[in-house]
Structure 1
Amino acid sequence: MTGAVVDAARGWIGTPYLHQASAKGAGADCLGLIRGVWREVVGREPAHVPPYTPDWAEPQGDEALWAAGVANLRAVPSGADWAPGQVLLFRMRDRSVAKHLGILSRVGATAAFVHAYSGHGVVESSLSHPWRRRVVARFLFPIS
């Protein structure tokens, strides 16, 4: 089933970046991409997402995305193998909250992930060392 997750994520490539959006081909941010893939591979979203600002969790130091991942996805143990279809949670700056998401699309020497990135839209990027070192948690969609 992880192939379905990667295929769904890649189907969003080219969608413009649009804060708070989750509409394939029209606009998505990183959370919107995860929500859209959820709808395609799991079904109805498990919770309503309230409006949020670009700095939504930083002032209060709230790890809201991490908590939502734990509540709605299946956590991947830290020592487990990296596998396509895993949802990656990134901390973009030291001592800041984790607030970027992507979906691992390829592992190994050419590891890559699909994500919605401001100024770029939904793209598939190399999971280079600078990206990989920012991953703080991995999750799986709750599918068989």
Structure 2
Amino acid sequence: MTPADLERVIAAARSWLGTPYHDQASLRGVGCDCLGLARGVWREVVGPEPFPIPPYSRDWGETGPREVLAEGARAMMIEVPSAEAGPGAFVLFRMMPRAIAKHVGILTGPDSFLHAYERLGVIEEPLTESWRRRIAFAFLFPQR
């Protein structure tokens, strides 16, 4: 698999800035959650979504034996070491120790990322050390 143009990924992600937060939605300018943002970028950069996304829990503290989001991303995207993820990478955050990775974002610079956050919607913010240490997995979008 060849990675998608990283500048195109970043531009697509930034086009979602200001979209209100709405759980399990994926409509630019109308509403999305963090996964809905990534789904929208996928549609713009890669093409139609390969399968419907089943309902999912909002519980960032959820534990379990499977990293469902990482497994799904691994099947469709190009995995890269988290420490080597750069601008344009899709990252999965583990929000609590020992919890499964359930929050996603897209790196927009060496020290910034974009994500959908409850009450704030889609925002771009600094990738602080607190956020950086929560990155559990990183992937690149594939070319169309």
TM (norm. structure 2) is 0.91
Amino acid paired to 1:95: R
Q: Which residue of 2 aligns with 1:135?
A: 135
The CA RMSD measured in Å over matched residues stands at 1.7
- Which structure 2 residues correspond to residues 1-144 of structure 1 after superposition, within 5 A? 1-55=5-59, 58=62, 60-78=64-82, 80=84, 82-107=85-110, 111-143=111-143
Report the CA distance between 1:101 and its aligned residue: 0.3
Shift in CA distance, 19/78, structure 1 to aligned 2, threshold 3 Å = closer
Segments of 4+ moved more than 4 angstroms: none
In structure 1, what is the Cα distance between the partners aligned to 2:133 and 2:41?
24
Give yes or no for contact 2:24–2:32 (8 Å, CA) kept in 1.
yes
Q: Cα gap change, 1:56/1:128 in structure 2, threshold over 3 Å: closer, same or farther?
A: closer
Instruction: State the Cα deviation string for residues 59-118 of structure 1 (Å, max 9, x = none).
Output: 6453111111111111013453x32110011000001110000000001xxx10010011
Aligned partners of 1:61 and 1:96 also within 8 Å = no
CA distance in 2: counterparts of 1:55 and 1:67, whole angstroms: 18
For structure 2, the 5+ residue unaligned runs are none
CA distance in 2, matches of 1:78, 1:20: 25
Question: Matches of 1:54 and 1:136 in 2, distance apart?
Answer: 18
- Normalised by the length of structure 1, the TM-score is 0.91
Residue aligned with 1:139, SS? strand
Relative to 1, partners in 2 of residues 1:10 and 1:4: Cα closer, same or farther, differing over 3 Å? Answer: same
Count of aligned positions: 140
Cα shift readout 1:14-71 (whole Å, capped 9, x = no counterpart): 0001000000000000000000000001001112101223139926453111111111
* Structure 1 portions without partners, runs of 5+: none
